[in-house]
Amino acid sequence: MLKVKNISEVIGKKVYTSEGDFFGQIEEVNLVDNRIEGWKIRIGSGFAGALGGARGVVIPHQFVKAIGDVFVINKTMLPSMREDALDIVPGEGAASAEEELI
């Protein structure tokens, strides 16, 4: 049985990779025509260095493997594996998203 959640219930949930590494927390949801297009995730300290100091990323919804008590995202979609998969949200004083992907 599918349990439908309100968007407000998932904001703040922890996000883990498919390998079990803590990635961050859900900050916002991107909706287009009442459908979830992506999730804005505030990156945890463990991945911040790997993403050029970015404070967050937007993960397309199709890369989310599971939603429950926590989110599970596909680790192969992270920028180190596939740079075009994520939109990087630069932190203060960081380079633009285009520069960070280069």
Predicted TM-score (pTM) of the model is 0.67
Closest CA to 25 of 56, 68, 64: 56
Residue 41: is its pLDDT beyond 50? yes
* Comparison of pLDDT for 100 and 48, the residue scoring more: 48
- Minimal CA–CA distance to 90: which of 45, 46, 43? 43
- Is residue 38's pLDDT more than 80? yes
Residue 26 or residue 2, greater confidence? 26
pLDDT of residue 28: 92
Q: What dotted CATH number matches 9-101?
A: 2.30.30.240
Structural domain spans, the chain: 9-101
Distance CA(20)–CA(72), nearest Å, equals 8
The pLDDT value given to residue 80: 54
